[in-house]
Amino acid sequence: MYKRIDHIGIAVRSITDALKVYRDGLGLTLVRVEVVADQCTRVAILAVGESRIELLEATAEDSPIGKFIAKRGEGLHHICFQVTNLVEEIARLKAAGLRLIDEAPRCGAEGRLVAFLHPSTAAGVLVELSQVSAQATNSSE
């Protein structure tokens, strides 16, 4: 069910500064920079193997990333696994007793469907699940 690590999200104060490390220093390839307006977040996406690194910069202090940095400083924020059918996976995880932030898929960047597990259910880790194609959610209908 879990095909790969889709991406690792890193909360950063400044994408400009973080790119000096992750792109210019480590040499990862910058795919693009985009704004996720409803999360008040600017995202720089870098490619590595079958996965990506997402540098997450708050565009407002009371955004999720802004609050995270105010509380914990910069650093690893979440991990995202790619799944094939998010509706089925949410149902499976709920039946297994895991605590979800999203009990139904919601729209993420790039037309993806996403859902988050609560960190309290996953050893303190904010876990995101992502499905590339929305069509697959209806595969069992």
Residue in 86, 105, 127, 128 binding a copy of itself, rule: CB under 8 A = 127
Whether residue 54 contacts residue 42, with contact meaning beta carbons closer than 8 Å, is answered with no
Residue span binding a copy of itself (CB under 8 A) among the ranges 35-43, 94-102, 107-115, 131-139: 94-102
Whether residue 9 contacts residue 81, with contact meaning beta carbons closer than 8 Å, is answered with no
Residue span binding a copy of itself (CB under 8 A) among the ranges 7-15, 30-38, 108-116, 132-140: 7-15
Cβ 111 to a copy of itself shortest distance, Å: 21
45 lies in the binding site for a copy of itself (CB under 8 A): no
Residue in 4, 70, 104, 133 binding a copy of itself, rule: CB under 8 A = 4
